[in-house]
């Protein structure tokens, strides 16, 4: 069975959006290498519509190892409103998210997910998200509102720390194992 592996950038004050304010100054060769290794370990990607729209507008026009990999791999976008996905190798998941992602996991092969929005939260609360990598940036973003935070009402999941690494940039990369779904 495949795993859902989530990799999320977060400011020290919990902001996961508005990355133009706090994230990009910390991108360097070390973080690029780790990000590439994480993606290489997966066979496909899963994302919500918001992430899909950002990625589909950015990655097809780029030309580097990461862009080549992300553009070529199978991608799944969870959306009840998106009719058609224009980015190559993308399938729209229209049915029940929990049921459809459980089927994807049964097919084998790990699946990468970036960002921790409503889709990731639903997967976490239903025991379908297996691994969470939090890239905690040493930066107070000082922007955003409730919808921009890692915090999600109703998600009271206890995680097991499986790794911690401090990058040269000061980012603390924390890796967690999430509990499996209860029968």
- Sequence-distant (6+) residues with CB within 8 A of 114 are 6, 7, 8, 45, 47, 51, 55
pTM, 2 dp: 0.94
Q: Count how many residues are written for the chain.
A: 183
Domain residue spans in the chain? 4-177
So what CATH class is 4-177?
A: alpha beta
Asked if 10 and 135 touch (Cβ cutoff 8 Å), the reply is yes
Position 183 pLDDT exceeds 60: no
Tell me the C-alpha to C-alpha distance, in Å, between residue 111 and each of 51, 70, 119, 137, 140. Answer: 15, 12, 14, 24, 30
What does pLDDT average to over the chain? 94
74-112 per-position pLDDT tens digit: 999 999 999 889 999 999 999 999 999 999 999 999 999
C-alpha angle with apex 3: 100 to 104, nearest 5 degrees?
Answer: 25
Position 181 pLDDT exceeds 70: no
**Mean of pLDDT values over 55-78:** 93
Position 149 pLDDT exceeds 60: yes
């Amino acid at each position: 069975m495949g795993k859902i592996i989530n990799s999320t950038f977060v400011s020290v004050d919990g902001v996961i959006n508005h990355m133009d304010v706090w994230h990009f100054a910390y991108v360097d060769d070390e973080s690029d290498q780790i990000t590439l290794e994480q993606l290489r370990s997966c066979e496909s990607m899963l994302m919500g519509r918001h992430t899909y729209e950002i990625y589909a507008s950015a990655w097809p026009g780029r030309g580097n190892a990461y862009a080549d990999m992300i553009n070529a791999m199978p991608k799944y976008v969870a959306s009840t409103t998106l009719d058609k996905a224009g980015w190559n190798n993308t399938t729209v998941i229209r049915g029940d998210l929990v049921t459809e992602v459980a089927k994807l996991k049964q097919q084998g092969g790990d699946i990468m997910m970036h960002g921790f929005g409503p889709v990731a939260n639903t997967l976490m609360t239903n025991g379908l998200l297996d691994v969470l990598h939090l890239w905690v940036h040493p930066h107070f973003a000082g922007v955003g509102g409730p919808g921009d935070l890692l915090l999600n009402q109703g998600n009271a999941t206890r995680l097991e720390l499986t790794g911690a690494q401090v990058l040269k940039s000061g980012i603390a990369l924390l890796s967690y194992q999430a509990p499996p779904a209860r029968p």
